[in-house]
Structure 1
Amino acid sequence: MSEHNPELSPEIQALIEKAQNGDAEAQNELGDAYYFGEGVEQNYERAVYWFGKAAEQGEAHAQYSLGYMYRMGQYFEQNDEAAVKLYQQAAEQGHASAQYNLGVLCVRGEGITQSDTKAVKLYRKAAQQGNALAQYELGFMYARGNGIKKNDTEAVKWYRLASDQGNTRALCNLGYMYDFGRGVKQSSKEANKYYRLAAKKGNNRAQLNLAFSYFQGDGVKQSYVRTKALCERILKDPELSFEAYELVDRAGRFEKSKSISTLRELILFHLQVRKNLTMTHYTSFDVGQAILLEKSPFRLGHINAVNDPNEGKLLWQELGYEPEEGNPVFIGCFLPDSDSLNMWRFYSKNHLNDDACGCAITFNTERFFDYRLMAEQGSHTEQEEQMPSFANTGQSPQESAAFYRVVYLKDNFKLLGQGATKLQSYFKDLKKEVDKFVGKNPTPEKLQTLAWLLGPLPYLLKDANYKDEQEHRVIVTHLDYGAKEIKSEDPDFAKGTAPRLYLELHRDDHLAPIEYVTLGPKAPNKEMMAPYWRHQLASKFSAKLDIRPSRCAYK
């Protein structure tokens, strides 16, 4: 297409003439005009042409712009290596945005060898030129001790500089530093000030942190109503909706009965697993293959699909009432032991119900909960590709993001195992508070509310007949039926297949939390399954995973 067009403004025509005469600055400006559609019709092909002309003459911004287009897959096929090469050329000339974006790629190891240390150097160069994004990232690196010695005072300094330019994540993290007294004198009031500033600019993490402050009454008048109101907008955020749902649920429960809700949290805290770094899920071969090779999300099943007829009833019996169904309950079953003959028999079956034929997937407990309940993610431009804002989760148990051990009971509600005496006293107090709550003539509505208040507790108690399982669970109870996070499969009436309800745990890197895989004692073709899976994982995902045979002697 010709650049000459009588309808173009005199300014654009003058710019075209300069560019055609070899003026690198004009060529870059004309590239910008075509890229953004300012004064001319937007045209990436012409933008690339003029950026290329300017870049050949060493124009730093043009080099950066071409690198950005490679990085984002605009006009070109997406190519991180090409982006890195162009960013480096511009960064060496002191271009702040190129230095910042090259730092992002160094942190992620995309198109360049991963190096937090190199990223820190690049962020510092850009930050010293006043680049707010780089100032934020540099503060984050100091706060975490990534690529540089941890230094909260330096973190606060760079967060403050970025905050002065309106960077919302810096505002949020500066609030966090005040919240926990890191690098500054602790002040909930100051923390909330920065959370508010960030929230007003649309930062949902800051809004959620502010909601936590209202829940606890930290620096503000305690208000469950305000907590829930602040969470409303965040419920639509795919990255934070899980935490927001749980906080809304928690605030509602404390609003109904602070005493029952406090005891619930004490019991859950007592049952939460903290020492085990791994938990193992026993499953069939086809499910294991889907989790490993198909980027399949991990699924939590509906409680009604388990095989214990007393599931969820024992606590209700102790309280003296018939079980009520509250919110739907979804569970994942795990074991600290990754090669247990009992578990192979119970849970690792094939489609013919033959036991010990499947596999066991062992997860890292710290990495397990880096998931979303919705498949979609928010869309971000590269200028927003930053490390996350700090969460105010030190003030929340976030009960659905934990592994809990199941407690086994003898007759007369006698608890067995670790901490039984302490737990027995908690449940005794719980019974007293429940009696006060429901009154002498409990209504169905009151008992449904009680089911909601108890949450996952009834599903962490099992009969002593099951104690050999030593089961551990992840439980989600805070979603209502109809919530878009809940997935379903229709029944097949001809085949007699039951309907299913389940939750999916979506991860960007589905293999990240997996430590290793064990093949069951009776796994078919197990001599070849391990090398086959290793080959597939390496081919599809460039991943190496330890896949080992069971050492159990099956009899």
Structure 2
Amino acid sequence: MRTRSSTGFNTIPENVAAVVFSHLGKDPKDRIRLAAVSKVWRSAEKSDASLPGTPRALCEFGKEFNSAVDASEHWKAFYWFEKSADHGDPEGMFWFGKWYLYGGCTGGSVTEENYTKAVHWFKRASELGHAEATRMVALCYEDGHGVERDFAKAIEWNVKAAELGWGFSAWWLGSAHLYGQHGLTENNNEALKWYRLAVELGDADTRQHWWEMSRMWVNDLEAELAAA
């Protein structure tokens, strides 16, 4: 009987192994089994040529498994988010960071919380212009997750997020100025500026609470400042 080694399975060239991986589809079970065969297969599994799609497509695979009703499928989401992040997709980095922040997004069923890694991936995504990841960095500074609690940095990162188009951060900044929170002094003009941006960035159709509150405060502050 011929063994695997006699058929050349263990010594197959990496470029050929990569082609095999590229035809395996989005369920990572067979990929993991093949990667365990030898160093060549492990290397091929990690290479660009072995990926069944672009880095963003890998992130979309992850989202599919992330929303699976069957919790036993969730580890596949983690697998693809990591692949997507490792290959430079900011959306993949954001989701990979969320898994570490919340312990797998499913109560820790796949990976434990690791705030340091969460901040690392959020910052990586932010560097590539990901607005929500930038907001998540701000949140980590607010709560002291993976970094020392620092409201000045939370404000700084929320400003970056708002400038990248994240409306919630604009609302957060408006409220911080309105109520004198997080080390800021009360300033209605600054509050109005950020609330206006929040309204501009928000979507009336989705009726987010922060958008409704921002719109209310724009009306109230404009009237108050006009009467002053």
* TM bucket, shorter chain: 0.5 to 0.7
Counterpart-to-counterpart distance in 2, 1:210 and 1:117: 36
CA contact 1:99–1:125 (8 Å) conserved in 2:
yes
Distance 1:123 1:244, change over 3 A: same
Q: Which amino acid is 1:122 matched to?
A: W
Counterpart-to-counterpart distance in 1, 2:76 and 2:129: 26
2:61 counterpart of 1:102:
yes
2:161 counterpart of 1:198:
yes
Distance 1:205 1:246, change over 3 A: closer
Q: CA deviation at 1:249?
A: 4.0
Which fold has the larger relative contact order, with Cα–Cα distance below 8 Å and residues 6 or more apart in sequence?
A: 1
Distance 1:226 1:115, change over 3 A: farther
CA contact 1:135–1:159 (8 Å) conserved in 2:
yes
Higher Rg: 1
Counterpart-to-counterpart distance in 2, 1:228 and 1:245: 14
Q: How is 1:310-459 mapped onto 2 (pairs within 5 angstroms)?
A: none
2:61 counterpart of 1:117:
no
Q: CA deviation at 1:246?
A: 2.4
Which residue of structure 1 aligns with residue 85 of structure 2? Answer: 127
- Structure 2: 5+ residue stretches without partners: 1-18, 32-44
Q: How is 1:209-220 mapped onto 2 (pairs within 5 angstroms)?
A: 209-217=172-180, 218-220=182-184
Superposed CA offset, 1:100-127 (max 9, x none): 11110011128x8773332112211221
Which residue of structure 1 aligns with residue 188 of structure 2? Answer: 224
Q: How is 1:495-514 mapped onto 2 (pairs within 5 angstroms)?
A: none
CA contact 2:196–2:214 (8 Å) conserved in 1:
no
Which residue of structure 2 aligns with residue 152 of structure 1? Answer: 115
Counterpart-to-counterpart distance in 1, 2:56 and 2:167: 25
Which residue of structure 1 aligns with residue 11 of structure 2? Answer: none
CA contact 2:61–2:80 (8 Å) conserved in 1:
yes
Counterpart-to-counterpart distance in 2, 1:250 and 1:152: 34
Superposed CA offset, 1:491-537 (max 9, x none): xxxxxxxxxxxxxxxxxxxxxxxxxxxxxxxxxxxxxxxxxxxxxxx
CA contact 2:151–2:183 (8 Å) conserved in 1:
yes
TM-score, with length taken from structure 1: 0.28
Q: Which has the higher strand share?
A: 1
Q: How is 1:248-259 mapped onto 2 (pairs within 5 angstroms)?
A: 249=216, 252=220
CA contact 1:152–1:182 (8 Å) conserved in 2:
yes
Counterpart-to-counterpart distance in 2, 1:148 and 1:97: 22
Residue among 128, 137, 147 paired with 1:184: 147
Q: CA deviation at 1:88?
A: 4.5
Q: How is 1:20-59 mapped onto 2 (pairs within 5 angstroms)?
A: none
Q: CA deviation at 1:229?
A: 2.9
2:124 counterpart of 1:161:
yes
SS in 2 for 1:115: helix
Q: Which has the higher helix share?
A: 2
Q: Which amino acid is 1:152 matched to?
A: Y
Counterpart-to-counterpart distance in 1, 2:174 and 2:188: 9
Identity across matched positions, percent:
18
Which residue of structure 1 aligns with residue 211 of structure 2? Answer: 244
Counterpart-to-counterpart distance in 2, 1:124 and 1:86: 16
Superposed CA offset, 1:455-474 (max 9, x none): xxxxxxxxxxxxxxxxxxxx
Q: How is 1:458-497 mapped onto 2 (pairs within 5 angstroms)?
A: none
Q: CA deviation at 1:132?
A: 1.4
Counterpart-to-counterpart distance in 2, 1:200 and 1:163: 12
Residue among 93, 99, 111 paired with 1:141: 99
CA contact 2:126–2:133 (8 Å) conserved in 1:
yes
**RMSD over aligned Cα atoms:** 3.2
CA contact 1:108–1:114 (8 Å) conserved in 2:
no
Q: CA deviation at 1:168?
A: 1.1
- Structure 1: 5+ residue stretches without partners: 1-56, 64-84, 257-555
Which residue of structure 2 aligns with residue 533 of structure 1? Answer: none
CA contact 1:153–1:182 (8 Å) conserved in 2:
yes
Counterpart-to-counterpart distance in 2, 1:148 and 1:101: 19
Superposed CA offset, 1:383-403 (max 9, x none): xxxxxxxxxxxxxxxxxxxxx
